[in-house]
Structure 1
């Protein structure tokens, strides 16, 4: 039973179901996100972190099949690789995109409103999470999703 099954899963009823994901694509997206967020910290660009927030929002609210970096992976990289050995549930990854959206949106607001420290801190947190996934395959948002699911199950 995955973290997204059963009554303890975070509310996803209003969202369309996503098919299982190729974990290599998830890590590719995390690597691209890592580069983008590192560029934000180097440049201080509120517009670049706002663009990343839109990338997160698209995946979070429209679904993982519309995730910009995932589409790039499916079109340009996946055809050159063999089929994945396994697939992973999309719900935890989608939740992590929502968390990323929140941090990137706060970062954009910080940079664009002159609250640079807020922008730096929020962007750095998002960068740390993206780097953990890209480098080590550890999805912090996915782990949060599982913890929330178990907490809800324990309360029920």
Structure 2
């Protein structure tokens, strides 16, 4: 099956090769498009484990590390995130051939995770633990949907924002050019 030209720059792991003409700053903060769905789901599973551990231990400090992980993944995909690197380079390759999905919705989902995890950390640190741990519960639910059911809530929201015109058409075109055998 011939893959669209959008995938021509992707390597076997689903990472996009960066053209030499891109600036160092742009290369530093690039996000892969497409991404391997198995790596995204594995990363979500790691987030679930970290959040459940933080919740059970009532370790508010761990929420800052979870938020940092999301920030690193928003900034550059898995290349800066230990959880992302573990998922992409160790776990996902053992799950089978890459199943490619659009990158922009996944980055959007990571950004939502960043907002929710940072909110949880701030709330716990500010003395509102019930609200903070409730936000962690929302994060656990969303990451569990991704990890165990293959439903990316952030991607679903991204799609709805595209339909109402809040996501630019150029981003929408980039997402629609990704296809992979399922």
Any conservation in 2 of the 1:108–1:119 contact (CA below 8 Å)?
A: yes
Question: Does residue 104 in structure 1 map to residue 117 in structure 2?
Answer: yes
- Could you say which residue in structure 1 is the equivalent of 2:62? 48
Match 2:101 to one of 88, 104, 107: 88
Q: How far off is 1:69 after superposition?
A: 1.9
Q: In structure 1, list runs of 5 or more residues that go unmatched.
A: 1-13
Task: State the TM-score, normalizing by the size of structure 2.
Answer: 0.70
Larger Rg: 2
- Could you say which residue in structure 2 is the equivalent of 1:69? 83
- Could you say which residue in structure 2 is the equivalent of 1:10? none
Task: State the TM-score, normalizing by the size of structure 1.
Answer: 0.81
Match 2:148 to one of 118, 131, 135: 135
Q: Which stretch has the larger CA shift, 136-145 or 54-63?
A: 54-63
RMSD, aligned α-carbons: 2.3
Flag the 1:110–1:79 CA change in 2: closer, same or farther, 3 A: same
* Structure with more relative contact order (C-alpha pairs < 8 Å, separation 6 or more): 1
Moved over 6 A (4+): none
Q: In structure 2, list runs of 5 or more residues that go unmatched.
A: 1-25, 170-182
